[in-house]
Amino acid sequence: MSIDKNAQLFERARQVIPGGVNSPVRAFNAVGGTPAFIARAQGAHLFDANDKQYVDYIGSWGPMILGHGHPQVLSAVQAALLEGFSFGAPTEREIALSEAILALMPSMDMVRLVSSGTEAGMSAIRLARGYTGRNKILKFNGCYHGHADALLVKAGSGLATFGASSSAGVPEHVVQDTIVLEYNDIEQLEEAFAKYEGQIACVIMEPIAGNMNFVRASTAFTRRISELTKEHGALLIYDEVMTGFRVALGSAQSLYAQQIPGFQPDITVLGKVIGGGMPMAAFGARREIMEKLSPLGPVYQAGTLSGNPIATACGLQTLALISQPGFHEALHAKTGQLMAGLKAEADAAGVPFSVDHQGGLFGFFLLPELPSHYEAVMKSDKPLFNKFFHGMLSRGHYFAPALYEAGFVSSAHTDADIQATIEAAREVFKTL
Ligand SMILES: *Cc1c(COP(=O)(O)O)cnc(C)c1O
């Protein structure tokens, strides 16, 4: 057996980078084993340090909706590179990207570009608090909105109680205004609005929760959130960092608006796809809300690399390509093919399995039925998942290395890629 370069690199990385990685999920802590160090990627395929090839179902956790190295995206980025990396002054491409985003998202009149989803989520909450003059924020167990202090909270013991910080280094007083509720639980929601009457600045949620695998907010739950926030003068923040431009061209909010006439969130948070793989995120809202932001208004927000010219070039070209008619319908069908194939193989092998997907986002659970909230997700059989994960990885099919993460399909995935994955799963399910 030749030298394992992944293992060598991991050993070297661990000397200089905590855990050998710059974002925890990459370390394979949940599934065990050595992470693959990726040397390059093309289309739907990753190549690691040993030159082993994988079908990529992570897509950089969402941004790579066109796959890797799309020729038109590459040329847009190359052209931008020659004009300069960063100026710290406004550019025309920032306007073009903002216009492109607003044209697809009728809930927003204005948008502010930032560099990461964490930054966008944190700023959206500051804006909601500044706009309403209230402090309390309401979030849901299992939703992730970046790692800002006030959001690193786990559910408390009682119903609708304040959460406890879920990270060392976050003082309790920083999270004392964060209320954590169970996803899809209307009763808890009503209870919280009654209990904290006049104090709630915002509800922040993932419309389809992609950070506890794949869990949809029910239509009834979404409708009630919309009603309660309106009734109580609180803002609804839709964190579409993962779902934005991935589940539909109009993002998840367009899907809920089909079910709930007139439905719109107050503030939308975006990231991932809008940068096409470059550091780019955004938050936007109606004009009266966005005008509270500096330099127009009293809510401070800034960034040296915000609206970076390379990132805007990459995002603009990505948005142009995914705006082509039928793009998301084709992606939805392709992702559906993968889910139906995996489900059929699991059924044939007698493995409990449930699946859901929307656009290029999917979730599968080693559970007989789809879960509707975090606790139910975590009932998944972890050793069984880990066996499935490693079985697929060793056969060259790279799924997210934790049972509570979503999966991603790009337009670069071919029928042959999907078929190969389904065939590998047939073998792996037999070993479970
Ligand atoms: C990824 C993600 C974030 C954080 O974005 P970063 O760019 O990693 O900071 C926030 N919210 C959701 C829903 C996400 O999926």
CB of 210 closer than 6 angstroms to any ligand 1 atom: yes
Tell me if the bond preceding 171 is cis, omega within 30° of 0. Answer: no
So what's the pLDDT on residue 156? 62
Residue tagged active-site, from 57, 144, 183, 404: 144
Secondary structure of 93-132 in HEC code, one letter for each residue: HHHHHHHHHHHHCCCCCEEEEECCHHHHHHHHHHHHHHHH
Check pocket membership of 309 for ligand 1, CB cut-off 6 A: no
Comparison of pLDDT for 61 and 161, the residue scoring more: 61
The rounded distance, in Å, linking the Cα atoms of 55 and 363 is 17
Residue closest via CA to ligand 1's atom 11 equals 145
Q: What is the pLDDT of residues 122-148, one digit of tens each?
A: 999 999 999 999 999 999 999 999 999
Give the contacts of 101 (CB within 8 A, at least 6 positions apart): 108, 111, 270, 274, 282, 284, 319
Task: In whole angstroms, give the CA distance from residue 152 to residue 28.
Answer: 21
Question: What is the whole-number distance in angstroms between the Cα of residue 241 and the centre of ligand 1?
Answer: 5
> Residue 2: its pLDDT value, please?
77
pLDDT at position 402:
95
Binding site membership of 117 for ligand 1 (Cβ less than 6 Å): yes
Q: How far apart are CA 328 and CA 322, in angstroms?
A: 7
Q: What is the pLDDT of residue 165?
A: 87
Neighbours of 131 (CB within 10 A): 23
Residue 4 · residue 50 · CB < 8 Å: yes
pLDDT at position 154 is 82
Q: Is 148 exposed, middle or buried (0-12, 13-18, 19+ CB in 10 A)?
A: middle
Tokens of 93: 């491409």
What is the rounded average pLDDT for all residues in the chain?
96
Catalytic residue among 56, 177, 185, 239: 239
Report pLDDT digits (tens) over 227-274. 999 999 999 999 999 999 999 999 999 999 999 999 999 999 999 999
| In contact, 6 and 38? CB cutoff 8 Å | no
Is 121's C-beta closer than 6 angstroms to any atom of ligand 1?
yes
Instruction: Give pLDDT tens digits for 105-125.
Output: 999 999 999 999 999 999 999
Per-residue pLDDT, averaged over 160-189, amounts to 89
Q: Does residue 358 contact residue 328 with C-beta atoms inside 8 Å?
A: no
**Residue written as tokens 């706009």?**
131
Does any ligand 1 atom lie closer than 6 A to the CB of residue 277? no
Would you state the pLDDT for residue 244? 98
**What pLDDT does residue 158 have?**
52
Confidence band for 313, pLDDT divided at 50, 70 and 90: very high
Q: Looking at the predicted structure, is the pLDDT value of residue 161 above 60?
A: no
Is position 417 annotated as part of the catalytic site?
no
Q: What's the average model confidence in pLDDT over 17-43?
A: 96
CA angle 272, 276, 281 (to 5 degrees): 40
The answer to whether residue 379 is catalytic is: no
**CATH topology classification for 71-322:** Aspartate Aminotransferase; domain 2 (3.40.640)
Enter the DSSP assignment of 299: B
256, 222 Cβ separation under 8 angstroms: yes
CB 215 within 8 A of CB 377: yes
Is the minimum distance from the CB of 214 to ligand 1 under 6 angstroms?
no
User: How does pLDDT run across 372-412, given as a tens digit for each residue?
Assistant: 999 999 999 999 999 999 999 999 999 999 999 999 999 99
The stretches of 243-380 forming alpha helices (DSSP H) are 251-259, 287-290, 309-322, 327-349, 374-377
Residue ranges per structural domain of the chain: 5-69+325-431, 71-322
Look at 428 and 163; give whichever has higher pLDDT: 428
pLDDT of residue 164: 82
Question: Which atom number of ligand 1 is nearest to the Cα of residue 269?
Answer: 11
Give CA–CA dist 368/323, Å, rounded: 36
pLDDT digits (tens, 9 = 90+) for 63-114: 999 999 999 999 999 999 999 999 999 999 999 999 999 999 999 999 999 9
Residue 334 annotated among the catalytic residues of the structure: no
* Angle ∠(105,109,110) on CA atoms, nearest 5: 105
The CA distances from residue 431 to 360, 380, 388, 396, in Å, are: 28, 18, 9, 17
**Which is the CATH superfamily of the domain at 5-69+325-431?**
Aspartate Aminotransferase, domain 1 (3.90.1150.10)
